[in-house]
Chain A
């Protein structure tokens, strides 16, 4: 039977924040008496994750992704609900638990800025009580996978952002965590570095059977890495399931792309469906999903078509639809 590594049931996390009216008068008022109100960062969230899964958390800013990860890592107490990671309650912060997971936040760092990454690695080795042999093997293996073997003895401040993020990742993985939370691991990286990072995460997941939750703004990260996604907005889960199924279930339309042999009137094309683009003899038309083949046939029959494909819309568009409309699962 597959091991359920992460169990979250009816998790709620509310913050109290104080409100300030604009202007100096407002500032003075709020100095003497503050009005507090609850921000519902996470509102009744439940899910379970099996060992070795690589899950994508998707959602706009402030959706509750990072808050959920912080609760799972024990940084925040839940307001209510049950949370269990590897059988531990994270916020008890037991060291046996801490030695088995890692949280990497793209915008936070742990490396010593003025020293080479190697020195920070040694410090982590001692903090996590990693045996010498294992430490050497892990550093070697991870730096080879990330291609940073040659920069381990250069001051961190002199590294590029990409190199630094990779070194941060190595530092976070030295103790071979079974569970890994990655919050925006590719933020600010160029396309090439993003690709390297993704390849690494995938390889790490397979090689060590590590359970990974990843949040990202880049759909590319999620599409390439995760089979299962959890879509979260305003603190609630909108969707939890396979990425492919979202497309199957929620793509409201199909995309027909056709190359024409000669110029035709755009107005006539719009009889087929919604013309999104028409340029250089290439036309892109959106048609209702269940009428796709009928519409394609119509296009082939009425117009001088050289080539034609029917595709699903881009995943970004579907997600956007999900966020704007909401959905019932």
Chain B
């Protein structure tokens, strides 16, 4: 068995120890989804079309964004800040295993667990609420959707790892995480699609990395993006992944240097 496979396995075992904790976490995400769902549902009681969306496309957007959320977002990397602060990061400098690789695998492991639950939850919601949603049958659109989700997953890992690495310099990086989550919730597109904002704003936000975590993949699924928009989107997404990846590696090296000079 490979060492990273072993990390994957022990992470699952650990997550399943606390059944109550885990179930509550799932309940939380279902409630969050239902809240957003019903807000949009009631908005469409009086109108047929808002911001260029009809009821079925917005509800599809919300449900798909929830699925993407389970795959792209995760909270495991928040541990990085803790591990650095309390000094147990030393374990990674003593053993033949990569700190970044270790957390990436734990992240993937969490995601797989989350996905299996989210699919079940979404199926339950579809069965109970019977919303009219759009089933995307175009295979090339579905393929692009999966690609965007996959890239988004990398992007989120890199962003949150960078925030975690800040703990090498600031003693409490909780504020930074908080800030990141505000940006994420507002501009990520989990609550509303970014393009309902007036054009100059939505265009500016679309240059930032956050819309590519939830908004971009969900929007691809709806099938309303034209080819130039798709190209531009994938370009910006790849740009951020590459730039932030190098930033992460640089910060990581600098962090180790800082740690090795000062210790904890």
Contact = CB atoms under 8 A, between A and B. Distances in A.
Interface of A: 15-16, 67, 70, 73-77, 91, 93, 95, 98-99, 102-103, 108-110, 112, 114-115, 119-120, 122-129, 155
Contact of A75 (B1, B5, B90, B96): B90
Nearest to A119: B10
Given A98-B96, A108-B87, A114-B14, A126 B261 contact: no
A110 B93 CA distance: 13
Given A75-B93, A110-B91, A123 B7 contact: yes
A33 B14 CA distance: 45
Contacts of A112: 10, 14
Given A123-B7, A126-B6, A127-B6, A91 B260 contact: yes
A114 B17 contact: yes
A119 B10 CA distance: 7
Nearest to A113: B14
A125 B97 CA distance: 12
B18 interface: yes
Q: Is the interface of B mostly helix, strand, loop or mixed?
A: helix
Nearest to B257: A77
B263 interface: yes
Contact of B17 (A74, A109, A115, A124): A115
A292 to B, nearest CB: 47
Contact of A76 (B17, B18, B95, B260): B260
**Which among B7, B91, B263 has the greatest number of chain A C-beta atoms within 10 A?**
B263
B1 A126 contact: yes
B2 interface: yes
B262 A127 contact: no
Contacts of A102: 94
Given A15-B263, A75-B90, A119-B10, A127 B95 contact: yes
Contacts of B3: 123, 126-127, 129
A93 B14 contact: no
Nearest to B93: A75
Contact of B260 (A77, A120, A123, A129): A77
A167 B7 CA distance: 19
Nearest to B3: A126
B132 interface: no
Q: Which 3 A-B pairs have the closest CB atoms?
A: A95-B96, A126-B6, A126-B3
B197 to A, nearest CB: 37
B172 interface: no
A28 B82 CA distance: 26
Interface residues of B, number: 26
Contacts of B88: 108-110
B261 A76 contact: yes
Interface string B111-132: 0000000000000000000000
Contacts of B257: 77
A75 B257 CA distance: 10
Contact of A123 (B10, B87, B94, B96): B10
Given A108-B88, A115-B10, A73 B260 contact: no
Nearest to A79: B261
Given A15-B262, A75-B94, A91-B260, A126 B87 contact: no
B5 to A, nearest CB: 7
Given A98-B96, A102-B94, A122-B6, 7 more contacts: A108-B90, A112-B14, A123-B10, A126-B5, A127-B96, A127-B97, A129-B96
A321 B172 CA distance: 43
Interface string B81-92: 000000110110
A112 B12 CA distance: 12
B5 A99 contact: no
A33 B109 CA distance: 44
Contacts of B7: 123, 126
Nearest to A172: B94
Contact of A77 (B1, B6, B261): B261
B102 to A, nearest CB: 9
Contacts of A125: 6
27 contacts: A15-B261, A16-B262, A73-B94, A75-B90, A77-B257, A77-B261, A98-B96, A99-B96, A103-B94, A108-B87, A108-B88, A112-B14, A114-B14, A114-B17, A115-B10, A115-B17, A123-B6, A125-B6, A126-B1, A126-B2, A126-B6, A127-B3, A127-B96, A128-B95, A128-B96, A129-B96, A155-B17
A188 to B, nearest CB: 18
A93 B93 contact: yes
Contacts of B6: 122-123, 125-127
B20 to A, nearest CB: 13
B253 to A, nearest CB: 12
Contacts of B260: 75-77, 91
A183 to B, nearest CB: 11
